[in-house]
């Protein structure tokens, strides 16, 4: 991972150039907060008129500027079909940023950034538009001194990924000249199945090298996810018990309260499995289950992640029927508001068989994890918004407590909370004060915002920063994606062959379908409450 840092005990003040006033923002000679400044470059965002740019990417660049992590020789070029010029594009982004900038809007920071924002109007398959983009890049390099370094971000629909890459290459915009670099960030979904993932990878590799391809998963930008490796490998008390001798099972939960909102057209073709499991969920599994890498260099880390993904036991059709659950939400109340049936959402087929909930039981067939089940669940319109990884340890022998008032021992549980409240908690037993021997559960709780102070973040800052630095540690490699799809494909094949008969099978605002509870009950276990 990039920019190794020292021990931090709490929040620190914003470090500014001496004499810098709030109304005047400069990057020259500024002291970066927690790292080094990225090298000079231009960021080109394809699909720049979409929500991702306005809600996440521009706010992320804005936050990087506030932290003095952007270079003074920096620029952004938006590329989209909507008819903006530089001025109207900046006005649009400013109006959006005022509503989406974590930590509040600072006019001086925005002024610095907006002066570096430009726009090119064109279709993604229009060669003339790429000629205009090339001319704008040349002018931007001359004006802002970006030295020919370009970070392309494909914030487009998946069908345009290979089109944009081919156009960049054929117009000479992807070629790395001596002393400069060209990198391409590709958004998910990366294919719909193993076959299409391989085809897309083949198309990208026909015009780009693997070192130029950055397959982004925004979950890996979250602090707790990045902290999994640090937590495991920098604390001597956890790694010795991080194995099948001491761990009973692992639960991974990604629960959302929202329905599909305005994404019905996309979601009805994708579903919860394709949307979440081969990328977000499997990335979390690989970080929890990987062996210690020889270093934090990108390929050393990703080598170990790939080994875990290849070790996940493939499912037979019988396994799919007994170890997977799919669900679709019906109307219900979530957080005081009513959600309609999924099938009644805009742009969703009235008889849709698309799943909005997935639960699975996976096994990892290696020396560390054999016989330790990994349970995962992901769903929309659930009771609460919560993303967490729960490691439940085995219960100790009960023999010492047989002649006491204690009737059972609760297992120790380590919970890594990813959102909305990032932190870590450890549950253990302690004696309740009094004359008799009674046990109570105690939680040791660590909250990121309370200890280190809340830092403005969208979740994309680290990933964009690493893309500019050329650090691929938090980006997926081609073999990792193939290994993930190899696990998911057999499940999708069975589901396609056997359409669900009971959809919808859970109400919005609940914990999901009853079949998901039964998946764990058959093993004598239970899901943690979603809260």
pLDDT tens, residue by residue, 445-486: 888 777 666 666 778 999 999 999 999 998 999 999 999 999
Q: Which candidate, 87, 66, 80, places its Cα nearest to that of 16?
A: 66
For the stretch 35-92, pLDDT in tens is: 789 999 999 999 999 989 999 999 999 999 999 999 999 999 999 999 999 999 999 9
Q: Is omega for the bond preceding 207 within 30 degrees of 0, making it cis? A: no
The sign of the torsion formed by the CA atoms of 46, 455, 9, 252 equals: negative
Q: What is the pLDDT at residue 420? A: 86
Cα end-to-end distance, the chain, whole Å: 32
Whether the CB-CB separation of 151 and 183 falls below 8 Å is answered with yes
For the chain, what is the total number of helices (H) and then of strands (E)? Answer: 16, 18
Q: What is the DSSP track for 241-290?
A: G-STTTEEEEEEEEE-S---TT-HHHHHHHHHHHHHIIIIIHHHHHHHHP
Asked if 130 and 110 touch (Cβ cutoff 8 Å), the reply is: no
Reported as a pLDDT band with limits 50, 70 and 90, residue 110 is very high
The encoded tokens of residue 7 equal 């021990």
Average pLDDT for 500-519: 96
Domains of the chain, each with CATH number or no CATH:
41-187 (3.40.50.720), 221-521 (3.30.360.10)
What are the strands, taking DSSP E only, across 177-257? 182-186, 213-215, 247-255
Average pLDDT value for residue range 225-231: 83
Query: Average pLDDT in the 318-327 region?
Result: 97
pLDDT bracket for residue 262 (50, 70, 90): confident
- Separation between Cα atoms, residue 292 and residue 230, nearest integer Å: 11
Q: Is the pLDDT of residue 197 over 80?
A: yes
Q: Which residues does residue 329 pair with via DSSP β-bridges, in sequence order? A: 506
- For residue 350, what is the DSSP state? T
C-alpha to C-alpha distances, 275 to 371, 388, 525, nearest whole angstrom: 28, 18, 27
Q: Give the model's confidence band at 5: pLDDT under 50 very low, under 70 low, under 90 confident, else very high.
A: very low
Q: Which pLDDT score, from 0 to 100, does residue 9 have?
A: 39
Q: Which two tokens stand for residue 228?
A: 């999994």
Scanning the structure block, which residue is given the tokens 């979740």? 459
Q: Using an 8 Å Cβ cutoff, are 3 and 34 in contact?
A: yes
Active-site annotation, residues = 280
Q: How many CB atoms lie within 10 A of CB 422?
A: 20
In terms of Cα–Cα distance, which of 329, 277, 294, 201 is closest to 485?
277
Provide the pLDDT for residue 313. Answer: 94
Asked if 284 and 419 count as a contact pair (C-beta separation under 8 A), the reply is no
Give the residue, 91 or 103, on which the prediction is more confident: 91
Cβ atoms < 10 Å from Cβ of 258: 14
- Count Cβ atoms within 10 A of the Cβ of residue 236 and give its class: 0-12 exposed, 13-18 middle, 19 or more buried: exposed
Report the pLDDT averaged over residues 315-344: 96
- Written as six digits, the tokens of 340 are 């309609």
Q: For residue 377, is pLDDT > 50? A: yes
Higher pLDDT, 2 or 58: 58
Take residue 430 and report the two structure tokens written for it: 């302690």
Q: What percent of the chain has pLDDT over 70?
A: 87
Q: Average pLDDT in the 288-313 region?
A: 94
Please compute the mean of the pLDDT values over residues 260-267 and round it to a whole number.
87
Q: What is the DSSP letter of 116?
A: T
Element (H, E) at 425: strand 423-431
Structure-token pair, residue 221 = 């930008």
Average pLDDT over residues 146-159: 94
Give residue-wise pLDDT tens across range 479-506. Answer: 999 999 999 999 999 999 999 989 999 9
- Give the mean pLDDT of 210-231: 85
pLDDT at 14: 36
What whole-number distance in Å separates Cα of residue 352 and Cα of residue 260?
A: 13
Question: What integer best gives the mean pLDDT of the chain?
Answer: 88
């Amino acid at each position: 991972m990039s920019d190794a840092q020292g021990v931090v005990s709490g929040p620190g003040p914003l470090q500014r150039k001496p004499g810098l006033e709030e109304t005047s923002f400069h990057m020259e000679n500024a002291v970066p907060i927690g790292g080094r400044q990225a090298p000079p470059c231009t960021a080109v965002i394809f699909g720049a008129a979409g929500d991702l740019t306005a809600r996440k990417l521009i706010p992320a660049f804005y936050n990087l500027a506030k932290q003095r992590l952007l270079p003074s020789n920096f620029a952004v070029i938006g590329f989209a079909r909507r008819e903006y010029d530089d001025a109207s594009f900046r006005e649009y982004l400013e109006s959006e940023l005022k509503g989406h900038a974590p930590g509040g809007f600072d006019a001086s920071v925005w002024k610095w950034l907006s002066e570096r924002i430009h726009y090119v109007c064109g279709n993604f398959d229009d060669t003339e538009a790429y000629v205009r983009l090339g001319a704008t890049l040349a002018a931007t390099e001359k004006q802002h001194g970006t030295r020919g370094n370009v970070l392309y971000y494909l914030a487009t629909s998946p069908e345009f990924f290979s089109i944009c890459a081919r156009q960049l290459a054929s117009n000479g915009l992807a070629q790395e000249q001596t002393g400069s670099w060209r990198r391409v960030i590709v958004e998910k979904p990366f294919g719909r199945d193993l076959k299409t993932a391989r085809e897309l990878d083949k198309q990208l590799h026909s015009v780009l090298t693997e070192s130029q391809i950055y397959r982004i998963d925004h979950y890996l930008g979250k602090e707790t996810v990045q902290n999994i490796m640090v937590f495991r490998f920098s604390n001597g008390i956890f790694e010795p018990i991080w194995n099948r001798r001491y761990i009973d099972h692992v639960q991974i939960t990604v629960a959302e309260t929202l329905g599909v909102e305005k994404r019905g057209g996309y979601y009805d073709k994708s579903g919860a499995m394709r949307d979440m499991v081969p990328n977000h969920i499997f990335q979390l599994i690989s970080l929890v289950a990987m062996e210690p890498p020889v270093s934090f260099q990108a390929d050393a880390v990703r080598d170990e992640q790939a080994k875990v993904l290849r070790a996940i036991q493939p499912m037979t059709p019988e396994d799919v029927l007994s170890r997977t659950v799919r669900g679709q939400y019906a109307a219900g109340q979530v957080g005081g508001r009513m959600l309609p049936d999924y099938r009644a959402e805009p742009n969703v087929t009235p008889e849709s068989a698309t799943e909005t909930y997935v639960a699975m039981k996976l096994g990892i067939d290696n020396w560390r994890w054999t016989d330790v089940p990994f349970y995962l669940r992901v769903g929309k319109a659930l009771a609460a918004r919560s993303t967490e990884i729960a490691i439940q340890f085995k219960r100790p022998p009960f023999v010492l407590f047989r002649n006491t008032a204690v009737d059972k021992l609760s297992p120790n549980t380590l919970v890594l909370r990813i959102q909305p409240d990032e932190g870590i908690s450890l549950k253990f037993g302690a004696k309740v004060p009094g004359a008799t021997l009674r046990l109570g559960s105690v939680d040791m709780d660590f909250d990121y915002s309370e200890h280190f102070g809340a830092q403005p973040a969208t979740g994309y800052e680290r990933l964009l920063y690493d893309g500019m630095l050329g650090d691929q540690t938090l980006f997926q490699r081609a073999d990792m994606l193939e290994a993930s799809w190899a696990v998911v494909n057999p499940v999708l094949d069975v589901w396609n062959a056997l359409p669900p008969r009971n959809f919808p099978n859970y109400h919005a605002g609940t914990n999901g379908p009853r079949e998901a509870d039964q998946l764990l009950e058959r093993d004598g276990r239970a899901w943690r409450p979603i809260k």
